[in-house]
Amino acid sequence: MLKIEVKGVEFNNKGAELMLLSVIQALDMHLLTYQLVLSPGFLLPYEKRAKLGAWQKFSFKLFGIDWTWLGNFIPAPMRKMLNHFGIIVEKEIDIVLDASGFVYSDKWGGQRLRETLKHLNRIQKKGQRYIFLPQAFGPFTERNIDLIQRIMTKSKLVIARDQESYQHIIKIGDALCFPDLTPLLSVNDILLPDNLPEKYVCIIPNHKMFSKKSATDKQSYIQFLMNSVEAVEEYGLTPILLNHEGKEDYEICMSISAKKNNGLMVLDSLGALQIKKIIAHSTFCISSRFHGCISSLSQGVPALATSWSHKYEELYRSYQCEGFLLDIMISKAELLRKIGSIINKREQQSKELQYLSQIHKAQCKDMWEIVFDKMKN
């Protein structure tokens, strides 16, 4: 039975959770049996891993050092005993599917690149296969180009999620380009919360819009969100603040709600599938979260968006709606005009998005065929 580790996923970031669930769905469809493996961690708590039936990888860091390799030296009888507790060591894993989203870039430094290269060096000796599922890459400095080149050489397959990422890595090594894998994840059987208003608009914040920037940038972004709330209300719709990731985004939601005398609905602590279902029933969305945008566009829901990375521009280019991308300094009058245009043309825009979504989904299916072929050979 294949032991398959899914790397780079978590439950706190709902985009990462959607990617994990998308991988599991594909594994269930293509394989009769397999063993799912996840690393333990603060963002991958035991209770949630256990619900998925996932084995726990022997993996931990101490003093900033990765000690996972120690598990490979545990004698076979002791490893068998660990298996009884659902624990598996690195060298027992057959395939690693990396679904990190966006960590391999100068933006996040070279530490993750170095750790992944060490991981690859260890598992290559055991004949294990490492596959990068669609994700964003780059740009890379000269020093990091050497690291990503060595990583790509040792990997079975590397897939970029957009054309700009593809251009960053195709000059370095062999790669393919396919879109994000989450649109295939159905939410037809997911129930909506009972207390949702009849006509609502999801507003999805993202603290990365101002992280590592000035206090002025934060104030400008908060003002943009306030303008968005008020503009939605002016059209007779109900704004809902939807937390797509953790504490920092939740604090943004609460600060906006406080400015409106706590009169806004804030949705928090929901599962990724329920969030995707809520987005599906939104009149339109205003999102700063990448997978909030994908969940919206791929379900035929127009989404105005702010961007902090090239992955947004590439996504909106693929859905032929670059005009939906907003600068946070947009005037309230212009924001009202944009929203009015969406409301007036929503039916036609929804049809166009659904047509492009079918193309997106077909590409995802093609991608999985290639991935499973690489997993076998």
What is the tens place of the pLDDT at every residue in 103-140?
999 988 899 999 999 999 999 888 899 999 999 999 99
Mean predicted confidence (pLDDT) in 32-48? 94
The helix or strand, by DSSP H or E, that contains position 305, with its residue range, turns out to be strand 303-306
Tens-place pLDDT, residues 182-197: 999 999 999 999 899 9
Q: What is the mean pLDDT of residues 161-180?
A: 97
Which neighbouring-strand residues pair with 132?
Answer: 98, 158
Mean pLDDT of the chain: 95
pLDDT at 203 over 90: yes
Neighbouring residues of 285: CB distance < 8 A, sequence distance ≥ 6: 201, 202, 203, 204, 279, 292, 293, 296, 301, 302, 303, 304
| 34: nearest Cα among 65, 7, 3 | 3
Helices of type H across the chain:
14-30, 46-51, 76-84, 111-124, 142-154, 163-170, 215-234, 246-259, 272-280, 290-297, 310-318, 332-376
66 strand-pairing partners:
61
pLDDT at 188: 94
Q: How far apart are CA 103 and CA 321, in angstroms?
A: 26
Would you kindly state where each structural domain of the chain is located, as residue ranges? Answer: 3-183+361-376, 200-357
The pLDDT value recorded for residue 61 is 80
* Encoded amino acid at 348, one letter: Q
User: What pLDDT was estimated at residue 149?
Assistant: 97
Mean of pLDDT values over 330-354? 97
Higher per-residue pLDDT: 293 or 66? 293
Q: Round to whole Å and give the CA distance between 252 and 89.
A: 40
Please report the pLDDT score of residue 182 as a whole number.
98
pLDDT computed for residue 68 by the predictor: 86
- Indicate if the pLDDT at residue 64 is higher than 80: no
- Under DSSP, the state recorded for 104 is B
Nearby residues of 122 by Cβ (< 8 Å), 6 or more positions away: 69, 72, 90, 91
Report pLDDT for 73: 87
- Give the whole-angstrom CA distance, residue 186 versus residue 277: 9
Bridge pairing between strands 3-7 and 95-98: parallel
Q: How is domain 3-183+361-376 classified at the CATH fold level?
A: Rossmann fold (3.40.50)
Comparing CA positions, the residue from 371, 376, 32 lying closest to residue 181 is 371
Lowest mean pLDDT among 62-66, 85-89, 336-340: 62-66
pLDDT value of residue 260: 92
What is the mean pLDDT of the segment spanning 50-58? 95
Cβ atoms within 10 Å of 374's Cβ, excluding its own: 14
Whether 3-183+361-376 and 200-357 share one fold: the answer is yes
In this prediction, residues 262-276 reach a mean pLDDT of 95
Identify whether the C-beta of residue 96 lies closer than 8 Å to the C-beta of residue 130: yes
- The predicted model gives 284-309 an average pLDDT of 97
Please name the fold of domain 200-357.
Rossmann fold (3.40.50)
pTM: 0.95
Give the per-residue pLDDT at 17.
Answer: 98
State the pairing for strand pair 65-66/61-62.
antiparallel
- For range 64-76, the mean pLDDT: 85
Residue 312: pLDDT over 90: yes
Residue 63 in this model has a pLDDT that exceeds 80:
no
Rounded-to-integer distance, Cα 367 and Cα 159, Å: 9
